[in-house]
Amino acid sequence: MSKRSKTSRRPRVAWWAPLPPHHSGIADYSAELLPHLESYWEIDLFVDGLEVDPGLAERHRVVDVRETDPAPLHAGYDAVLYHIGNGPAHIYAYHALLRQPGLVVLHDVALTHLVAEITHGRGRTDLLFRELREQHGDEAAEELRRYVYLHEPAPWLVEPLRHPLNRRVLAAARAVLVHSRFAAEQVRAARPGLPVEVLEMHAPPPVAGATRADGPALVLCTAGYLTPAKRLESVLHALARLRGKVPFAYHVVGELAPGYRIAGLVRDLGLEEQVRLHGRVPGPTLDAFLSAADVCINLRHPTSGETSAMVLRVLAAGTPVVVSDEGWFSELPDDAVVKVASGPGEVEALAGAIESLAREPERRRALGAGARRYAQAHDPVSRASGYAAFVARHAGPAGTATERAAARALDSAAAELGFDAALAGGAALAGDLG
């Protein structure tokens, strides 16, 4: 519980987001930003039964929505800030937002995984059919039918932005904060007239890591939560093309998504000597890998309109990084990253980029310097100032007549779709899948 000053005149803010020790980029994001926001606001943390880091719990009041109904509390805040991302840890915030509109920090434009977990993931595929049809029409529902009955690829994996299932969130938002121009364009197209602001995401402070060695082999690294969208198959095929031309060692650091297996491909390509799969490692070990690498490779296709906290961590380490040329990644400066196009030529382009970087150590050093400059310009202190300005522009008394009407409409729609029943188990689902 926070040691709150009775004479404080700072605005009161309700912060809905996963927090450490929960493992997610958005949890780390919150922990890195909150200390810099405390000078602007008095912040209460709304969580869904999850343990909260003792340091955060000491400085802030923690409201567990499994034990306390948050609805009566919201009237006492100058702003309610919902962090919405495309994963089960955000189900509780999604549920609350539909009933009590507020300010939204949209971390992913597409919320397909989130809504699919609420519905299809709990055996209520009928609700997902209805939700797709309600938000995106019969064509979207037909794509889901082909997935369920014909076993075609899940539409939310193939093209997440085609039917992003974000319209209920946007309807409930008083204003939206996003971290890229790309995301802002998507939101404005989906709900014209909604106030949308861009605040580029902060980079974490640099940490002391391992020293980059000047050995004969190019040290490569891919890190993070590893899903098919991270394009590891493309990376491995690109490296197989370089075997015998460029000496390299490739470290894959992070947890593989359920069902995502690449060890067999490593063997099939004959890369066992060059590739090491390390799994999830502690933070200091991760930072050592990033700092020791000559080049990191963090691709993303298809994009859900996200920003990569891992890429920002790489930039803070001063390590050159190869990214996909789409979404937020396209907005990164060319003096800090190397961009490769997704699509049929991805493997060839990636192999060419890696070979070029292997043969040009001066270019790698220049890119590393550019990466540090970018990270330094996106420090948490400056991002906190941007947050404070956003809330100051859009905060106001909770529960205006317009918002109450919007909440009634959303509540009615949610009940009609059966979301009350589906969401009732959302907290347990988040725990199971997080």
DSSP, collapsed to helix, strand or coil, labels residue 254 as coil
For the stretch 204-222, what's the b/e string if a residue is b when 16 or more beta carbons lie within 10 angstroms of its beta carbon? bebeebeebeeeeebbbbb
pLDDT band at 195 (very low <50, low <70, confident <90, very high): very high
The pLDDT tens digits of the residues spanning 345-401 come to 999 999 999 999 999 999 999 999 999 999 999 999 999 999 999 999 999 755 554
Between residues 426 and 131, the one the model is more confident about:
131
pLDDT cut 70: percent of the chain above it:
88
Write down the mean pLDDT value for the chain. Answer: 90
Average pLDDT (57-64) is 97
| pLDDT value of residue 6 | 47
Per-residue model confidence (pLDDT) at position 209: 61
Cα pseudo-dihedral 169, 47, 156, 353, rounded to 10: 110
Please write the tens of the pLDDT for every residue from 399-418: 554 555 555 555 555 555 55
pLDDT at 10 over 50: yes
CA distance 423 to 413: 13
pLDDT tens column, 215-274? 789 999 999 999 999 999 999 999 999 999 999 999 999 999 999 999 999 999 999 999
* Cross-strand partners of 105: 83, 177
Q: Tell whether the model's pLDDT for residue 193 goes beyond 70.
A: yes
Strand locations in 149-270, DSSP E?
173-178, 196-198, 218-223, 248-253
256: DSSP letter: B
pLDDT computed for residue 38 by the predictor? 96
Is the pLDDT higher at 164 or at 419? 164
The answer to whether residue 205 scores a pLDDT higher than 50 is: yes
Section 36-45 average pLDDT: 97
pLDDT tens digit string along 328-343? 999 999 999 999 999 9
pLDDT at 414: 56
Q: What is the DSSP letter of 398?
A: S
Q: What is the distance between the alpha carbons of residues 351 and 284, in angstroms, rounded to a whole number? A: 30
Alpha helices in 204-299 (DSSP H): 232-242, 263-268, 283-292
The answer to whether residue 7 scores a pLDDT higher than 80 is no
| pLDDT surpasses 50 at 422 | no
Nearest to 121 by CA among 91, 161, 163: 91
Residue 156 has pLDDT above 90, yes or no: no
Question: Quick one: pLDDT at residue 428?
Answer: 33
Q: What per-residue confidence (pLDDT) applies to 431? A: 29
- Residue 44 above 60 pLDDT? yes
Q: What is the pLDDT of residue 426?
A: 35
User: What is the per-residue pLDDT for 210?
Assistant: 60
Block residue for tokens 């912060």? 15
Q: Which domains does the chain have, with CATH numbers?
A: 12-109+166-202+382-426 (3.40.50), 218-378 (3.40.50.2000)
In the prediction, which pLDDT does 357 show? 98
CA 110 to chain centre: 11
